[in-house]
Structure 1
């Protein structure tokens, strides 16, 4: 979902799926159905999560019927499962040998499931995977890569952008949102003594820190995703985090970022004028429309330092289980999810398309999405590794002392990198 963090059930998933992974092998061949006796694909997901009936209705009432009409030998049985329960449901079903054919997977789960051998590598099994993969945002595609293969395709996506308000800009005497690190620091100086923090965020994990590192030209790991040391603690990475630490020590970033649960949330602090800027995603429009009807947020790219403005990718992927007896039929439905019809119909419900060529149509539905679509052109994935959920904990534990003053940013990032290195090579 928004932050795509793996849940605590991951350990249980690994333990139970490992028992049956060796028995899960892909079966190729035809779908085996006919218009009189169609095969039935079981598809699990969380389209109704949070009471979002529009997405589930679009799937059940428009998209699945359209697919079935075009493919009368295939039926699709969609099962909606609450997001917080889906990973546990996969765990239980894997242990019982009853996984569905298709899963709308959180991007953070794909490398975990791929490592355990319960997914079909689409880059091996789909003859047109190369064509399909070239059509989507590179950052969203990379969430499906594990050990040199791609185990899914992006289904929907999102990213974080800088959000501010006209009131904040007026208070700082600025005509536009800060586009660079220097402009953000200038904004902080102008806000000094006003009681308004220049920036706020709610954590120190990759979702929070990576956009600043990447936008300063830094890196989290090498290109091969095998080493963090020398990259996460490289000079440009350190400088990006140091800027945040300096602003924190100046009182310009609230201690919400270091875990103070009593601090005002970003979703409340921006519209009420406590915070001048935040980083957040496209879901905020609906939240503010309900809670702060008179608030008019201004959206802009992540400020850049020595690099290009770069944010972080969220969203879901579609994956095919290796135990499915309907591989060809399932691949037909996967192709359908990459079509203009599927992507634009879901865009009407507020989901962002994974295909940049469709961004103009998406923006025609709602111009609000334009800034997010532009940001997605350079947005990157967090570490697509089976142990990715551990990285956020490592970063937060290492960086909190740097913000509170008991260690340097360089030492904190070096410590984090040394702890992340073994996770990158674990198989």
Structure 2
């Protein structure tokens, strides 16, 4: 009897479990999906019919396709990298923006830009020589960029010198794209002949080596000319200045005591026979004298030159030339000159926002590193300049180190005239047509007038 009762109990429990299972399945069927609760009122679940309240939120409309017109004067190799590597990467990030890159002829390009602006035919954005910025801004060709989003971050990420080339009359009219400067390049054999195992650290040490070579009929110091590109690294390093910090006046600076002393020192070097012939247009040229060509031995221990020297000559000079920072002057630093190109947006640009997005992309660490590796351009982005990928370029570190204290040429709309006056003053002093003080006094007075225009 007890066994029969046990069987009944087990059967009852089994039937109960089956009933519960069927109930669960029935509930799932009513809601239309397993794991979804039945309606709270116990009625049947609603059908799939969608109402305005239950419809999913509409997706954001994709941005309209736009085309950015970009002018540049990259060389053939640089343009190849731009078209085949850089622009495809930009398209991956900004699928709606097409960059139409146009390579412009370099001859009279600045005048072409002004003419295009007058006719309303400017592009959206351009890679422009950094000495043109102030003049183009004064002409009303460019629009300020310091109000665009992310500008402050670009300033923080960029070398100060290249950034300063975009400054005019209280605003920034561009951002620094690529830069360059000049360092000292030594002929290893002549350096040893002068009595040194490594490049001199100071100007005084350099002068000593130059005197050692003079006794052997060779030259220890080469300045490419008295002009405002070749001379400033030496003039600034020796303590000279062209204007005040705000670029408003030259009197008291270009002809100040420190500047006069700097020019007197350079003139004294030339009088002593320490400067190579190119200072006043003599031969052989800087590269020829440094390397020795056409069967003639090298006669210049050092020149002051940009990264294109190594970019052009490549491995042919890797074992014979030593790149080094400029020797330090009285303040314990060297001050070379800044060259390079900036990105500017034109007033009247049809796609300013898209053009600015392209500018930010070009200044990113990734693209700056890529262009440096592939073209030899010095990045304006400080992180890119220190990228591991650039450590393999044996001369690169010296240029990056020089950038830390390099200075921009005066950002004035009249820089061309200012540069001419500077060069003529130095040439007059070197040729003994005026004393250093007289030459700089006269140049400062004329430059003051140009700075006020």
- Please state which band the TM-score falls in when normalised by the shorter chain: 0.7 to 0.9
**Which residue of the other structure, out of 437, 440, 446, is the alignment partner of 1:410?**
437
Q: 1:293 to 1:303 in 2, by over 3 A?
A: closer
Q: 1:34 to 1:91 in 2, by over 3 A?
A: farther
* 1:36-115 to 2 correspondences below 5 Å: 38-48=65-75, 52-53=76-77, 55-115=78-138
**Which residue of the other structure, out of 114, 127, 142, is the alignment partner of 2:149?**
127
* CA deviation after TM superposition for structure 1 residue 213, in Å: 2.7
Aligned to 2:385: 359
Indicate the RMSD between aligned Cα atoms, in angstroms: 1.8
Do residues 266 (structure 1) and 286 (structure 2) align?
A: yes
* CA deviation after TM superposition for structure 1 residue 85, in Å: 4.5
* CA deviation after TM superposition for structure 1 residue 380, in Å: 0.8
Do residues 234 (structure 1) and 256 (structure 2) align?
A: yes
**Which residue of the other structure, out of 164, 177, 191, is the alignment partner of 2:199?**
177
Distance in 1 between residues matched to 2:249 and 2:405, nearest whole Å? 22
* 1:228-377 to 2 correspondences below 5 Å: 228-260=250-282, 263-272=283-292, 273-289=298-314, 296-307=320-331, 308-348=333-373, 349-361=375-387, 363-377=390-404
Distance in 1 between residues matched to 2:406 and 2:448, nearest whole Å? 23
Aligned residue pairs, count = 385
Deviations 1:77-103 (A, max 9, x none): 000112225324313322321000011
Deviations 1:122-172 (A, max 9, x none): 013x13211111111100001000001000000000100111121111111
Distance in 1 between residues matched to 2:338 and 2:216, nearest whole Å? 34
Deviations 1:58-112 (A, max 9, x none): 2111111111221122110000112225324313322321000011000111111
Distance in 1 between residues matched to 2:214 and 2:101, nearest whole Å? 53
What TM-score does the superposition give when structure 2 sets the normalisation length? Answer: 0.81
Deviations 1:350-383 (A, max 9, x none): 1111012222215324132000000001111001
Larger radius of gyration: 2
Q: 1:93 to 1:79 in 2, by over 3 A?
A: same
Q: Would you say the 8 A contact 1:205–1:391 is kept in 2?
A: no
* CA deviation after TM superposition for structure 1 residue 191, in Å: 1.1
* CA deviation after TM superposition for structure 1 residue 259, in Å: 3.2
* CA deviation after TM superposition for structure 1 residue 34, in Å: 5.5
Distance in 2 between residues matched to 1:76 and 1:85, nearest whole Å? 24
Instruction: Say which structure, 1 or 2, has more relative contact order (CA 8 Å, 6+ apart).
Output: 1
Q: Would you say the 8 A contact 2:337–2:407 is kept in 1?
A: yes
Q: 3-state SS of the aligned residue for 1:183? A: helix
Q: Would you say the 8 A contact 1:228–1:417 is kept in 2?
A: yes
Distance in 2 between residues matched to 1:416 and 1:324, nearest whole Å? 39
Distance in 1 between residues matched to 2:441 and 2:327, nearest whole Å? 25
Distance in 2 between residues matched to 1:363 and 1:66, nearest whole Å? 20
Aligned to 1:396: 423
Do residues 156 (structure 1) and 178 (structure 2) align?
A: yes
Distance in 1 between residues matched to 2:439 and 2:210, nearest whole Å? 25
* CA deviation after TM superposition for structure 1 residue 295, in Å: 6.0
Q: Would you say the 8 A contact 1:161–1:372 is kept in 2?
A: yes
Aligned to 1:215: 237
Distance in 1 between residues matched to 2:114 and 2:144, nearest whole Å? 20
Aligned to 1:382: 409
Distance in 2 between residues matched to 1:416 and 1:63, nearest whole Å? 45
Distance in 2 between residues matched to 1:47 and 1:212, nearest whole Å? 29
Aligned to 1:419: 446
